[in-house]
Every structure is written in C-alpha cells, then in structure tokens.
Amino acid sequence: MTKSEKIFADAARLAAIDAPAPRSANRAYRERFGEWEARAGVRNWKSDGGVDAGKLPFSPELVPLTRHALVRDRGETAIYHLLAQHLYMFCNFTEHVELEAIVPASVLLRFGDAPFGVPEALARDAGRVVIDEAWHAQCAGDLRAEIQSAVGVAPCRMRKPAFLHVLHVVKATLPERERRLADLVFACVSETLITSSLNHVPRDDKVITKVREVLGEHAREEGYHHAIFGQAMGVMWEQLSAEDRDFAGPLFGIFIAAFLRPDTLAEMDALESAGFSASEAKGIVEETHDEPSLRAELWRAAAPTVRFMRGHGLLDHATTQDMLADLALTTPTA
C-alpha cells in the first residue's frame, strides 16, 4: 500500500467509527439565542468610550498585589504599572480561553461531535457562541493595543494562561473520545463561572471608560453563554454512562480550581517588569495569596458553577463531590 493509499484507507476507517451521536430528543433545553441577530454585539455594538486622563487601567480592588506593602512603598507609578499589566493579562486570558477552549468546544456541540446526543436548539446556540467568542477575543486584543498605546506601559511577557496547561496535561494521554469530553467539561466550567472582573470593572468609575465599556459588553453576552452552558451541563450529565461520569465528574473540580487559582508566574512577570527583583516578586506573590480572605473569595467565585452542578445532580456522584471537597470548593473555610 502506498503512502497516499494508507492515508485514505485510514481516513475511511476513521469516518466509519466517528459518527456523531443522534440528536438528543431532550426538550428541556431552552434556546437562548432566538433573537441573536438583534442582540449580538458583533453585529450591533460599538464602543464610544475613550481613554480618560487620570483614570486607571483596572480596578485596584481586583489586583491584590497592589495592596502589598513593598508595592505601596514604590508609590502610585508602580501601582499603575501593575494595574496596566493586569489588564493586559486579562486580555491575554480572554484571547486564549475563547480561541483555544470555548470555540473548539462549541464547534463540537454545533456538529454533535460529543459523547452524548446534542439537542438541535443547543447546537444552534453553540454555533452562535462560536461567533461571539471569536469576537470577544478580537475585542480583547484590540483593547490591549489601544490602552498600551494610550498609557505608554509596555506589556510584560505574555505567557499562555496557567489554566490551559492544566487542560493540556489532563488531555495528554487520553483517547479522542475522552479528550472531547474533557473539552466540553472545561467549557461548561469556564462559561458558568462569573468572574469578578466582568462583574466589577464595568461599574467602577475609577477605570478608563473604554475598558469599562468593552468588559461590560463582554459581560452582557456572557450572561447568555452562562445560561447555555449551564443547561449543556445537564444535557451532558444525564446521558453519560457510569464510567463516563467517573471520568468527567472529577474534572469539574480540577477545572474550576485551574480557572480560579492565581497565575503566579504571570504575576511574577508583572512585578519584575515593574522593577522588583525575582526574589522580591516571588515573596510578594506568596505573601499576597496566603491571605485567608483570598481563599474565601475563590470559594465564592466557584459558587455559580457549583450551583449548576448541584441542580443537575453532579454532587450526588461521590467521586465528583470528593474532588470538590479536596479542592476546598464546597466550603469557604477549608
């Protein structure tokens, strides 16, 4: 058999075994994007905001590093620098999560390439999510470039966000079917968590208007995605076999923790770009994230996803519940 013949023969075998599951007859899923044409930001929204002089790139309340004594000793310039870096990291986070995680998972749902039946209404909504999320990534990249040009703070090294390394480690040794299931769990977690950035920054008058408007529009659309993937979690869970549940259930806790834990390497990069030594940066990060109040905040941030999990019966699954408990995601004092 020639090389080309082998390629086409292998492709034919793959096609024969890779048929999507039949569309689910689940009528409980409610379409969320029936008026997408009128509501989609990519079709209808445009920011009129500018880069206000004297305002901040990000909300200081959301950047705990700026409260550390060594940072405050360096004065307002160092604090402003770290706020700008945090905005750049948020934009970098957004680009990566949307294009590397949510868009691929939404494509799986759009075509029914999942280890469960996908309702037609969910498939339609997922196709619209693909467009939304690609646009959110583009907006984030444009925002980063515009703010950098206006405020004159160059971004530090922009690493791939830490949560993606967790996803890649989980998937590294899995067969194709389980990799798809991991991608879908990851998307359900990402889209049902409600970040403090999207909640707080759009309402913070201290922050540059352009930043507030872009994050506010992102937050508006993520409200629809929250509802879509909250339902998708239930559609998926009710159809999974016991073996699939034993695999997928604990991943919810792992991925929640991956999203909510601080990206310490990125934070150390930001501190070093502000003039701190490597050892100073490491100490500041360690001391900042040792605060009990911050651990409680992580628990609060996980609550929206945990509520969906409880509502769909995931917490009745012992292995899933055990993982959440091990990661201190079911109690603020663990």
Confidence (pLDDT) at 165: 94
Q: Please report, for residues 108, 118, 120, 185, the alpha-carbon distance to residue 27 in angstroms, rounded to integers and kept in the order given.
A: 20, 11, 10, 21
Retrieve residue 101's tokens: 């995680």
Retrieve residue 164's tokens: 């993606």
Retrieve residue 53's tokens: 């002089």
Question: Would you tell me how many other CB atoms lie within 10 Å of the CB of residue 293?
Answer: 8
Count of alpha carbons within 13 Å of 325, Cβ hemisphere only? 7
Q: What is the DSSP code string of 113-180? A: -SSS---HHHHHHHHHHHHHHHHHHHHHHHHHHHHHHHH-------PPPHHHHHHHHHHTT--HHHHH
Question: Cβ(164)–Cβ(190) under 8 Å?
Answer: no
Confidence (pLDDT) at 24: 62
Question: Cβ(68)–Cβ(288) under 8 Å?
Answer: yes
* Residue 56 three-state SS: strand
Retrieve residue 64's tokens: 């705990």
Confidence (pLDDT) at 106: 97
| Nearest-angstrom CA–CA distance, 1 and 9 | 10
Per-residue pLDDT tens listing for the chain (334 residues): 888 778 878 888 877 766 666 666 555 777 777 777 777 777 777 777 778 888 999 999 999 999 999 999 999 999 999 999 999 999 999 999 999 999 999 999 999 999 999 999 999 999 999 999 999 999 999 999 999 999 999 999 889 999 999 999 999 999 999 999 999 999 999 999 977 678 889 999 999 999 999 999 999 988 899 999 999 999 999 999 999 999 999 999 999 999 988 899 999 999 999 999 999 999 999 999 876 666 677 778 888 999 999 999 999 999 999 999 888 887 765 4
Question: Cβ(298)–Cβ(324) under 8 Å?
Answer: no
Retrieve residue 126's tokens: 């997922």
pLDDT tens-digit series, residues 10-25: 888 877 766 666 666 5
pTM for this one? Answer: 0.89
Dihedral, CA of residue 82, residue 85, residue 90 and residue 96, to nearest 10: -150
| Nearest-angstrom CA–CA distance, 63 and 84 | 10
270, β-bridge pairs = none
Confidence (pLDDT) at 199: 84
Q: Exposed (0-12), middle (13-18) or buried (19+): which is 257, by Cβ within 10 Å? A: buried
Write down the H helix ranges in the chain.
3-17, 36-39, 41-44, 69-73, 76-96, 103-111, 120-151, 162-171, 176-192, 196-200, 209-239, 242-260, 264-273, 278-288, 292-311, 318-326
Q: Domains in the chain, please, with CATH?
A: 54-326 (1.10.620.20)
Dihedral, CA of residue 181, residue 187, residue 193 and residue 199, to nearest 10: 180
Question: Would you tell me how many other CB atoms lie within 10 Å of the CB of residue 55?
Answer: 17
Confidence (pLDDT) at 334: 44
